[in-house]
Structure 1
């Protein structure tokens, strides 16, 4: 059986408004479209993992509101094991307010709500389930103390711990030392290391600092440049695919879910990153979070059409 991916993270109702340009302080702008879409970084990554073929379990909290009940059913329809998703009494499901501008960039504000109920105590109650996974994938929309608790449980039982440090914020050395692989974007990498990441040299510098914190593998997503990887094999970039972007809301989440699927299937990190770049590339051509995440067949077809006769070495720019 395919190795198990346990995603621990957030669930949000995404309220998305499309605008020509983001409002300035005190300014009111008129949107062209408004939607309420299932989101949350944890949920997005779990959905991506499941749609792309991963044996996916999800540890999360939602409210006992209509959205919370409906989203759990949708998770199950996507093939996610929802036995660890708890509906918490007396709170709402998490909320995200998202502006998407005419350049497909986004600006997001969130309220944790039920996500804050994923406490260290709840995580401790799920020790056996965490220990039973092969990969633990987490983000930063749930309490940091809970993320640390889960990482320690996983690390002590041989589970590979992957952290997508988003939304960007400083993290303790204790947490970073509990991570096997970290997947920041350029902004997040800069916040964690103090290095402005804008090319392969600065990415290597940032990765070196993260290695010194105890993290063995660093994957920095760099938008159109691709995915920068630094590990025991050295440093290299897996190029991205050229697409016409509509909305970048869940691109990073799609990348992370896809990356874990291929790693769980025994693929190399370079091959996994190429697949993840393809899935993320498809996602940015569509609107919304989970609504933009592609399936396995679509992603494999996308890859086949673009690199039909290439081997790994031809797709990797090695940074020496």
Structure 2
């Protein structure tokens, strides 16, 4: 049983995803197909949570344009509370992604002008303080993220979003503020810490520097190699479920949402992360950024069909650069 609500603060925009029909050739036109759907890291996480049965509210900024109306309408229809989504005169943001013929991301451009209009005055503090968990999207302006970390006692999960966005977050992780979980990939982890992350040992070292800076759990996403969950107790590698990708867009958002939903039901970190791996599998094997038939039953089915291999667990050792 879900024990509380989630508030998600972050981007809500229109995703434009172009997939090439053959291996991509740079600096020329490539035949393929293009689709436009509601997106944004925060919005996607919120919709995934709603489809998984969690009570969720979205705090975001969108434009007073056709794209904004479409995003708002479809997000509400998925079961997300959109009462705290603000409309502004700036255009609704866009995320434009180019995928190869194998479904893997080639390049993406994020135009988040509307999200950058989010400020502290737009934060519904009573909602944030009454939620059981908060999810923050790294696209948010730094003053907003810092205000939440300083003034809201609710546990916070932070998605750094990208390496450039992660680099500017580094100054907030200085030991003054507690974070429940941060979810970088290895490039974002390097930007957050200034440490190399080319090997598993380097990833573990860099992650543990974040533990020293007020982060309680570092969940490093490693794509087809799975993910690694590092806490003050141990380090657990969670393999990805082998899949032929249709579209990788939104996999990380589904992964985070399933993790949060499992935590809301009282499950442990490792079990919740395995739900995340199942949700990521369901998403990359679908053409949708947010899979419309995503559910806890679907996640449980995938976990039954792909039972977890023996746990690869490492007990933390003292952080010493000379052992990397």
Deviation at 1:244, TM superposition (A): 1.0
Query: What does the per-residue CA deviation read over 1:62-110, in whole Å, with 9 as the maximum and x for residues that have no partner?
Result: 111122122222222211111111122x221111111011232211101
Aligned counterpart for 1:144 among listed residues 139, 142, 147? 142
Cα separation, partners in 2 of 1:22 and 1:40, compared to 1, 3 Å = farther
Contact 1:92–1:113, Cα closer than 8 Å, also in 2? yes
Matches within 5 A, 1:43-58: 43-58=43-58
Contact 2:282–2:291, Cα closer than 8 Å, also in 1? no
Deviation at 1:7, TM superposition (A): 0.6
CA distance in 2, matches of 1:232, 1:239: 21
Pair 1:12 & 2:13 matched: yes
Pair 1:101 & 2:96 matched: no
Pairwise CA RMSD = 1.9
Deviation at 1:290, TM superposition (A): 2.4
Deviation at 1:174, TM superposition (A): 2.8
3-state SS of paired residue (1:236): strand
Residue correspondences, number: 307
CA distance in 2, matches of 1:196, 1:18: 32
Deviation at 1:168, TM superposition (A): 1.9
CA distance in 2, matches of 1:198, 1:286: 30
3-state SS of paired residue (2:163): coil
Partner of 1:134: 132
Partner of 2:311: 316
Partner of 1:164: 159
Contact 1:238–1:315, Cα closer than 8 Å, also in 2? no
CA distance in 2, matches of 1:30, 1:226: 31
CA distance in 2, matches of 1:162, 1:291: 22
Pair 1:117 & 2:117 matched: yes
Cα separation, partners in 2 of 1:293 and 1:100, compared to 1, 3 Å = farther
Tell me the TM-score normalized by structure 2: 0.88
Deviation at 1:2, TM superposition (A): 2.4
3-state SS of paired residue (1:58): strand
Matches within 5 A, 1:30-49: 30-49=30-49
3-state SS of paired residue (2:94): strand
3-state SS of paired residue (1:266): coil
Matches within 5 A, 1:216-231: 216-231=216-231
CA distance in 1, matches of 2:305, 2:170: 43
CA distance in 1, matches of 2:149, 2:293: 27
CA distance in 1, matches of 2:130, 2:174: 22
Deviation at 1:153, TM superposition (A): 2.4
Q: Which runs of 5+ in 1 are unaligned?
A: none
CA distance in 1, matches of 2:172, 2:59: 22
Partner of 2:73: 73
Contact 1:279–1:293, Cα closer than 8 Å, also in 2? no
Matches within 5 A, 1:229-240: 229-240=229-240
